[in-house]
Amino acid sequence: MIVRDMRPEDFPDLRANYYECYDERDAGLPIGIVLFRERPSEEAETAWFEGVRRSFDAGNLVSVVAESDGHVVGTCSVSRVGPNPDSEVGHVGGLGILVRRDHRGKGVGSALLEGALERCRGKFEVVQLAVFIDNEGAQRLYRRFGFQEIGVYPRAIKRGDRYIDERLMVRVL
């Protein structure tokens, strides 16, 4: 497995990995990312990816992927919270990570987080994240990388008729 910067040709794998999260949710499996109620169309995903690429090119996003056997199996991105570096919150990045189910628990998340945080130095001073309160594995990972809990956002997610709290965590670089 290699960790590298995201490239435009990664989009088909990124979309497939994201769509798998909907299959997991619909099967009643625990999935620790926020999803839309309905799976977005391919057109909507293409537009989203173009926005990601513009943010990356503008220097407002760090995005790395884990590649195994020629396919992307995970991604970790840190997006600037403010509109640009000159904003009063331009020094803060919000972290998101996704690892394909069949690659979880194999060190992919650690490799992605390490690669993303390395690339954040000089671009962000603070990295923040929100993690589902019941996702203990992810919380252990974040703590190993120096993230500290700063609070809990109650009922942050409404999945069907169930609410999920989120743990808020931060790391000063």
Q: What is the pLDDT of residues 59-117, one digit of tens each?
A: 899 999 999 999 999 999 999 998 888 899 999 999 999 999 999 989 999 999 999 99
Domain-embedded: residue 138: no
Domain that holds residue 61: 2-125
Domain-embedded: residue 40: yes
Measure Cα distances from 74 to 45, 69, 86 in Å.
17, 13, 31
Neighbours of 103 (CB within 10 A): 16
Domain-embedded: residue 84: yes
Domain-embedded: residue 135: no
Domain-embedded: residue 166: no
Say which CATH number the domain at 25 has.
3.40.630.30
Which pLDDT band holds residue 44 (cuts at 50, 70, 90)?
very high
Domain-embedded: residue 22: yes
Q: What is the pLDDT of residues 115-135, one digit of tens each?
A: 999 999 999 999 999 999 999
Share of the chain above pLDDT 70, in %: 100
**Predicted local confidence at residue 82, as pLDDT:** 84
Q: Which residues contact 114 (CB under 8 A, 6 or more apart)?
A: 3, 145
Domain-embedded: residue 143: no
Query: According to DSSP H, which parts of the chain are helical?
Result: 11-26, 42-57, 108-120, 136-144
Overall domain count for the chain: 1
Domain-embedded: residue 159: no
Predicted TM-score (pTM) of the model is 0.91
